[in-house]
Amino acid sequence: MKDKQAFTLIELLVVVLIIGILATVAVPQYTKAVERARASEALPLLKSVYQAAQAYYMANGDWPEKFDELAVEIPWTGTTKWRNASVMRDTRSNDLWSMQIYKETGFGWSLSMGRISGKYKGSGLQIGSNDTWVCAERTSNGVTFDGNPGDYCVKIMRCTDTPTTHPSVRSYPYQP
Protein backbone atom coordinates (compact mmCIF):
# COMPACT_ATOMS: atom_id res chain seq x y z
CA MET A 1 0.00 0.00 0.00
CA LYS A 2 1.32 3.44 -0.94
CA ASP A 3 2.11 5.93 1.76
CA LYS A 4 -0.74 8.49 1.69
CA GLN A 5 -0.21 12.02 2.97
CA ALA A 6 -3.11 13.99 4.41
CA PHE A 7 -3.90 16.57 7.05
CA THR A 8 -4.87 15.31 10.44
CA LEU A 9 -8.03 16.49 12.17
CA ILE A 10 -5.92 18.43 14.70
CA GLU A 11 -4.09 20.30 11.94
CA LEU A 12 -7.36 21.25 10.27
CA LEU A 13 -8.82 22.45 13.58
CA VAL A 14 -5.74 24.60 14.23
CA VAL A 15 -6.09 26.23 10.79
CA VAL A 16 -9.79 26.91 11.37
CA LEU A 17 -9.00 28.37 14.79
CA ILE A 18 -6.35 30.69 13.33
CA ILE A 19 -8.74 31.87 10.61
CA GLY A 20 -11.39 32.52 13.25
CA ILE A 21 -9.00 34.59 15.37
CA LEU A 22 -7.92 36.63 12.33
CA ALA A 23 -11.55 37.25 11.37
CA THR A 24 -12.38 38.36 14.92
CA VAL A 25 -9.62 40.97 14.73
CA ALA A 26 -10.23 42.04 11.11
CA VAL A 27 -14.03 42.48 11.01
CA PRO A 28 -14.25 45.35 13.57
CA GLN A 29 -11.43 47.17 11.78
CA TYR A 30 -13.22 46.69 8.47
CA THR A 31 -16.46 48.06 9.97
CA LYS A 32 -14.64 51.16 11.23
CA ALA A 33 -13.01 51.70 7.84
CA VAL A 34 -16.38 51.44 6.08
CA GLU A 35 -17.94 53.96 8.46
CA ARG A 36 -15.00 56.37 8.05
CA ALA A 37 -15.50 56.11 4.28
CA ARG A 38 -19.22 56.87 4.63
CA ALA A 39 -18.46 59.91 6.77
CA SER A 40 -15.76 61.10 4.38
CA GLU A 41 -18.28 60.89 1.51
CA ALA A 42 -20.83 63.01 3.39
CA LEU A 43 -18.40 65.52 4.90
CA PRO A 44 -17.72 67.41 1.63
CA LEU A 45 -21.46 67.98 1.21
CA LEU A 46 -21.70 69.35 4.75
CA LYS A 47 -18.73 71.65 4.09
CA SER A 48 -20.13 72.94 0.80
CA VAL A 49 -23.55 73.62 2.34
CA TYR A 50 -21.84 75.48 5.18
CA GLN A 51 -19.80 77.55 2.71
CA ALA A 52 -22.99 78.41 0.82
CA ALA A 53 -24.60 79.42 4.14
CA GLN A 54 -21.63 81.67 4.89
CA ALA A 55 -22.04 83.31 1.46
CA TYR A 56 -25.75 83.75 2.18
CA TYR A 57 -24.89 85.40 5.49
CA MET A 58 -22.42 87.77 3.82
CA ALA A 59 -25.05 88.78 1.23
CA ASN A 60 -28.07 89.02 3.55
CA GLY A 61 -26.74 89.73 7.04
CA ASP A 62 -28.58 86.72 8.47
CA TRP A 63 -28.23 82.95 8.33
CA PRO A 64 -30.52 80.91 6.06
CA GLU A 65 -33.54 79.00 7.33
CA LYS A 66 -34.09 76.82 4.25
CA PHE A 67 -31.76 74.82 2.03
CA ASP A 68 -33.50 76.28 -1.04
CA GLU A 69 -32.07 79.70 -0.10
CA LEU A 70 -28.53 78.42 -0.70
CA ALA A 71 -26.53 78.43 -3.92
CA VAL A 72 -25.65 74.76 -3.66
CA GLU A 73 -27.47 71.67 -4.84
CA ILE A 74 -28.30 69.09 -2.19
CA PRO A 75 -28.97 65.72 -3.82
CA TRP A 76 -31.05 64.43 -0.92
CA THR A 77 -34.84 64.72 -1.13
CA GLY A 78 -36.05 62.95 2.02
CA THR A 79 -37.32 64.63 5.18
CA THR A 80 -36.31 62.16 7.92
CA LYS A 81 -35.08 64.12 10.93
CA TRP A 82 -31.98 63.29 12.95
CA ARG A 83 -33.03 65.73 15.66
CA ASN A 84 -36.60 66.59 16.63
CA ALA A 85 -36.96 70.16 17.79
CA SER A 86 -39.00 73.20 16.89
CA VAL A 87 -35.78 75.12 16.19
CA MET A 88 -34.94 72.84 13.25
CA ARG A 89 -35.82 74.96 10.22
CA ASP A 90 -35.26 72.58 7.31
CA THR A 91 -34.31 68.94 6.74
CA ARG A 92 -32.91 66.94 3.84
CA SER A 93 -32.10 63.25 4.08
CA ASN A 94 -31.15 60.13 2.18
CA ASP A 95 -31.18 56.54 3.43
CA LEU A 96 -28.13 57.03 5.72
CA TRP A 97 -27.92 60.73 6.62
CA SER A 98 -30.12 63.64 7.64
CA MET A 99 -28.93 67.24 7.26
CA GLN A 100 -30.72 69.95 9.22
CA ILE A 101 -30.56 73.70 9.69
CA TYR A 102 -30.85 74.78 13.32
CA LYS A 103 -31.78 78.37 14.09
CA GLU A 104 -32.93 79.64 17.44
CA THR A 105 -33.24 83.26 18.49
CA GLY A 106 -30.62 84.05 21.08
CA PHE A 107 -28.69 80.81 20.54
CA GLY A 108 -27.53 81.11 16.96
CA TRP A 109 -27.39 79.05 13.81
CA SER A 110 -25.85 75.68 13.01
CA LEU A 111 -25.88 72.94 10.43
CA SER A 112 -26.01 69.32 11.50
CA MET A 113 -25.67 66.03 9.66
CA GLY A 114 -26.51 62.84 11.50
CA ARG A 115 -26.83 59.13 10.79
CA ILE A 116 -30.45 57.95 10.67
CA SER A 117 -29.77 54.27 9.99
CA GLY A 118 -27.10 51.63 10.40
CA LYS A 119 -24.90 50.64 13.29
CA TYR A 120 -23.95 54.22 14.12
CA LYS A 121 -27.40 55.80 13.80
CA GLY A 122 -27.85 58.75 16.11
CA SER A 123 -24.28 59.97 15.61
CA GLY A 124 -23.18 62.84 13.44
CA LEU A 125 -21.41 66.15 12.93
CA GLN A 126 -22.43 69.73 13.54
CA ILE A 127 -20.90 73.08 12.60
CA GLY A 128 -21.99 76.37 14.09
CA SER A 129 -22.01 79.88 12.70
CA ASN A 130 -18.82 80.51 14.68
CA ASP A 131 -16.93 77.80 12.71
CA THR A 132 -17.00 75.41 15.69
CA TRP A 133 -17.22 71.74 14.69
CA VAL A 134 -18.46 68.99 17.00
CA CYS A 135 -19.01 65.29 16.66
CA ALA A 136 -22.25 64.28 18.35
CA GLU A 137 -23.86 61.14 19.73
CA ARG A 138 -27.56 61.81 20.37
CA THR A 139 -28.97 60.41 23.61
CA SER A 140 -32.56 61.67 23.14
CA ASN A 141 -34.71 64.15 21.19
CA GLY A 142 -34.43 62.41 17.83
CA VAL A 143 -32.64 59.39 16.41
CA THR A 144 -30.66 58.09 19.37
CA PHE A 145 -27.21 56.53 19.44
CA ASP A 146 -27.31 53.01 20.91
CA GLY A 147 -23.56 52.45 21.19
CA ASN A 148 -21.22 53.10 24.08
CA PRO A 149 -20.05 56.68 24.64
CA GLY A 150 -17.28 57.43 22.18
CA ASP A 151 -17.94 54.48 19.85
CA TYR A 152 -18.53 56.86 16.95
CA CYS A 153 -16.84 60.14 17.85
CA VAL A 154 -13.67 58.70 19.39
CA LYS A 155 -13.26 55.39 17.56
CA ILE A 156 -14.57 56.37 14.11
CA MET A 157 -14.10 60.15 13.84
CA ARG A 158 -10.96 60.13 16.03
CA CYS A 159 -11.98 62.88 18.46
CA THR A 160 -9.64 63.07 21.43
CA ASP A 161 -11.15 65.50 23.93
CA THR A 162 -13.63 64.76 26.70
CA PRO A 163 -17.24 65.19 25.61
CA THR A 164 -19.57 67.93 26.72
CA THR A 165 -22.76 66.26 27.87
CA HIS A 166 -26.06 68.01 27.29
CA PRO A 167 -29.50 66.57 28.12
CA SER A 168 -29.91 65.17 24.59
CA VAL A 169 -26.38 64.72 23.17
CA ARG A 170 -22.71 64.02 23.92
CA SER A 171 -20.58 66.49 21.92
CA TYR A 172 -16.89 66.05 21.20
CA PRO A 173 -14.73 68.81 19.67
CA TYR A 174 -13.96 67.83 16.07
CA GLN A 175 -11.32 68.93 13.56
CA PRO A 176 -12.33 68.15 9.93
User: Tens digit of pLDDT for each residue in 70-101?
Assistant: 999 998 999 999 988 878 899 999 999 999 99
- What long-range pairs does 148-156 form, CB within 8 A, spacing at least 24? 151/120, 151/123, 152/35, 152/115, 152/120, 152/123, 153/123, 155/32, 156/32, 156/35, 156/36, 156/39, 156/120, 156/123
What pLDDT is attached to residue 85? Answer: 80
Domain ranges of the chain: 9-173
* pLDDT-above-70 percentage for the chain: 98
pLDDT higher than 60, residue 1: no
Closest by CA position to 156, among listed 48, 4, 13, 34: 34
Per-residue DSSP letter, 22: H
Residue 176's pLDDT is 83
* Amino acid at the residue 159: C
